[in-house]
Amino acid sequence: MPRAQAQLDLDRAVTLRQLRTFKTVADASSFSLAAQRLKLSQPSVSYQVKELEEALGLPLLDRLGKRVKLTEAGTVLYGYARRMLDVLDEATVAVEELRGIKRGSLRVGASTTVGIYLLPAALGAFKKLHPGLVISLEIGTRTRVQDQVLRNELDLAVVGPASRDSELAIIPFLSDELVVVAPAGHPLAGKRSLTLKDLAGEPFIMREASSGSRWSLEKEARKEGAKLQVAMELGSNGAIKHAVESGLGLAVISRYAITLELASRRLVELKVRGFPIRRDWHIVHLRRRKLPASVATFIDFLKGTSWLSRNGVSTD
């Protein structure tokens, strides 16, 4: 068969949808995870990859139980598929820029504290300026949302200490403070010059081991040579605040998360040496990706402080 004819047949047989599905399976190393990311059924994902393999006449993936691995042919195709899909995404961005940000989407991810207590205000203010945008917010662990940015499932994410990755652009955003809190009327409330060793006999309510606030607390405790008593692990700041208010223990939590509780005196901040612990939040996005106008504009919007002051949030 002439080369031109073979190329023509390949053009007809292989679709962009198949290539995107194949790349997603390769990225996830799993058909089931790829199906979740693509919002398709697993049989549909398997069928598209099978069609692609039949069109090329080569196996692209080795099925190893629930996991998959690229074959030699799959590795070659993956590099081309990634480049092709990147160009297609750039074309989409270029077309969107022609119509500004009157339409389009904005997919934002965030770690827990900033995602619950700050970003909704920012997204609400940005939506008022650009009502035609479809905006979504995904809240998860720092690792999870950064991985979603790397897979181009999110346009950007706001996280604490960002994992260093050559594929990610990391932009400074805001500073946060972690403080030690106790229920109103606690015997230690009002005392000055406390140390973590003074708190060694107190029960602590903590986040899961992978959380940034717990990592910061345990680092400070090691520095002070203090062994803290973990009375309870809870998965959200809201649950921790309720537990502390109920007298179940002390906690270390973001100042942004307890503004109302401190103002209403339901919680009190303890004066502990080494606290508040300062930590910085960052905006991350794919370095190689040309950002759509909606994403670039939102990053500039976040870096400004007008939306913070309009929502009563201090940046000091």
143 pLDDT higher than 50: yes
User: Is the same domain home to 107 and 162?
Assistant: yes
In a domain, residue 13? The reply is: yes
Could you give the percent of the chain with pLDDT greater than 90? 39
Last residue within a domain, chosen from 47, 73, 96:
96
**Whether residue 119 is found in the same domain as residue 158:** yes
Which pLDDT band, with edges at 50, 70 and 90, does 308 fall under?
A: low
Cα distance between residue 266 and residue 269, in whole Å: 10
Local confidence band at 36 (pLDDT 50, 70, 90 cut-offs): confident
Task: Assess if residue 316 is contained within a domain.
Answer: no
C-beta separation of 181 from 269 below 8 A = yes
The answer to whether position 305 is within a domain reads yes
Residue 150 lies in a domain: yes
Residue 286, domain member (yes or no): yes
Query: CA-CA distance, 153 to 265, in Å (whole number)?
Result: 41
5: confidence class by pLDDT, cuts 50, 70, 90 = very low
pLDDT of res. 88 = 83
pTM for the predicted model, two decimal places? 0.66
Work out the average pLDDT over 89-93.
Answer: 74
pLDDT on residue 252: 93
pLDDT at residue 55, rounded to an integer: 86
Between 283 and 130, the more confident residue is 283
Average pLDDT rounded to a whole number, residues 86-101: 70
pLDDT by residue (tens digit) across 203-212? 999 988 877 7
Give the total number of structural domains in the chain: 3
The range of the structural domain enclosing residue 86 comes to 3-96
Residue 94's pLDDT is what?
A: 67
Quick check: is 158 in a domain?
Answer: yes
**pLDDT confidence of 180, banded at 50, 70, 90?**
very high
Percent of the chain with pLDDT over 70: 89
Percent helix, strand, coil in the chain (nearest 5)?
50, 20, 30
Question: 160 and 286 share a domain?
Answer: yes
CATH of the domain at 264: 3.40.190.10
Q: How far apart are CA 76 and CA 62, in angstroms?
A: 14
pLDDT recorded at residue 92: 73
| Predicted confidence (pLDDT) per residue in 212-239, tens digit | 788 888 888 898 888 888 899 998 899 9
170 and 304 housed in the same domain: yes
pLDDT value of residue 96? 64
Per-residue pLDDT averaged across 238-250, rounded? Answer: 94
The Cα–Cα gap between 266 and 149 comes to 38
Q: Which of 68, 96, 124 is the last residue of a domain?
A: 96
Which pLDDT score, from 0 to 100, does residue 307 have? Answer: 63
Of 44, 66, 96, the position where a domain reaches its end is 96
Residue 4 has a pLDDT of 47
Query: Is residue 182 domain-shared with residue 148, that is, in the same domain?
Result: no
Instruction: Let me know whether 92 and 138 are in one domain.
Output: no
Do 291 and 303 lie in a common domain?
yes
Q: Domain holding 39: CATH number?
A: 1.10.10.10
Tell me whether residue 122 is in a domain: yes
Tens digit of each residue's pLDDT (9 = 90 or more) over 48-83: 899 898 888 889 999 887 788 999 999 999 998 988
Indicate if the alpha-carbon torsion angle 149, 17, 288, 61 is positive or negative.
Answer: positive
Q: Are residues 143 and 197 in the same domain?
A: no
